[in-house]
Every structure is written in C-alpha cells, then in structure tokens.
C-alpha cells in the first residue's frame, strides 16, 4: 500500500504472483517472530530468554526486509512523458478495495495488540483472593 503513494511521470504495475509471495513472507516470518516473543514470557530472565529475544528480533527484521525487497521486485515502472501523471497517490483517487485492505489490516493490528496486552496483563497480575467470610465469621473491628 505504501508504494501506491508514489507519484511521478511513470506508470507503476505489479506482478500479482510476486506481490502474493511478499505477503506470504510478511505474515509467515513475522508470525514466527511474534510467536517466539509471546513464548519468551515463560522463559524468565535467564540467558535463554535474552537469546530467544535476539532470535525473535532477527526473524522479524528479516521478515520486514524480505517483504519489502520482494514487493519491490514485483513492481514495474514505465516512464511517461507527462509530468502530471498522478495515478499513484494515496488520496481521493484511491480505489475502494484499497480502503478495505487498509481497514482490515488496521483492525487486525489492533486486535493483535489487544490480545497481547490482555495476555501480558494476565501474566503480571496476581490472582485475586477467593477468601470469603460466612455471615457468622465477619472480621472483628473492635480488636477484642
């Protein structure tokens, strides 16, 4: 979607197969990295935890870089003589399917963030006490 923001005296077309591979790389490698990050919560603060964080960071970095390079490989540019060719910009001329993709992607990101936040809070929040008092065992406030 970011490449749609490019404009100039060129026409940009995409090879759908290569772009699809880029999307698969992004979801697969980033998913693997995020899976490792979530599992690290159970490893504690040992050297293993630090090593797993490093591996997860490298996997996510590889995913981001690979996805961008493969996505650019799928783009083809054709020069046109008109300097006013503004067919590729993020604005009012963006087709409706692009808005749908953006909305779904943002919704997915927010849902993932909410799930990770809920999971992390459940790990650091101590369980509530289930102690209850019967009607005849109320705690005394008189001190006697």
Q: What is the pLDDT of residues 69-89, one digit of tens each?
A: 888 888 888 888 765 555 545
pLDDT of residue 119: 82
Answer for the pair 39, 110: CB distance below 8 angstroms, yes or no. no
For 126-137, write each residue's pLDDT tens digit.
666 666 555 555
User: What does pTM read for this prediction?
Assistant: 0.48
36 pLDDT band, cuts 50/70/90, is confident
Average of per-residue pLDDT across 38-45: 70
Residue with the larger pLDDT of the pair 94 and 23: 23
Residue with the larger pLDDT of the pair 123 and 67: 67
Percent of the chain with pLDDT over 70: 67
- Residue 83: enclosing H or E segment and its boundaries? none
* Residues 68, 23: Cα–Cα separation, whole Å: 9
Residue with the larger pLDDT of the pair 128 and 68: 68
In this structure, is the dihedral angle defined by the CA atoms of residues 38, 39, 44 and 47, taken in order, positive or negative?
negative
Q: What are phi and psi of 76, to 5 degrees?
A: -125, 135
Pairing type for strands 10-14 and 75-79 reads antiparallel
Residue with the larger pLDDT of the pair 142 and 109: 109
Is the pLDDT assigned to residue 138 strictly greater than 60?
A: no
């Amino acid at each position: 979607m970011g490449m749609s923001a490019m404009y100039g005296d060129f026409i940009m077309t995409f090879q759908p197969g290569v772009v699809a591979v880029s999307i698969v790389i992004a979801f697969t490698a980033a998913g693997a990295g995020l899976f490792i990050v979530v599992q690290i919560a159970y490893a504690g603060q040992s050297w293993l935890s630090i090593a797993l964080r490093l591996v997860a960071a490298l996997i996510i970095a590889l995913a981001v870089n690979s996805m961008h390079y493969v996505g650019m490989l799928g783009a083809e540019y054709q020069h046109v003589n008109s300097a006013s060719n503004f067919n590729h910009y993020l604005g009012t001329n963006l087709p409706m399917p692009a808005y749908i993709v953006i909305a779904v992607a943002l919704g997915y990101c927010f849902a993932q963030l909410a799930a990770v936040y809920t999971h992390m809070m459940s790990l650091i929040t101590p369980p509530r006490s289930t102690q209850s008092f019967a009607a005849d065992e109320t705690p005394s406030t008189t001190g006697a």
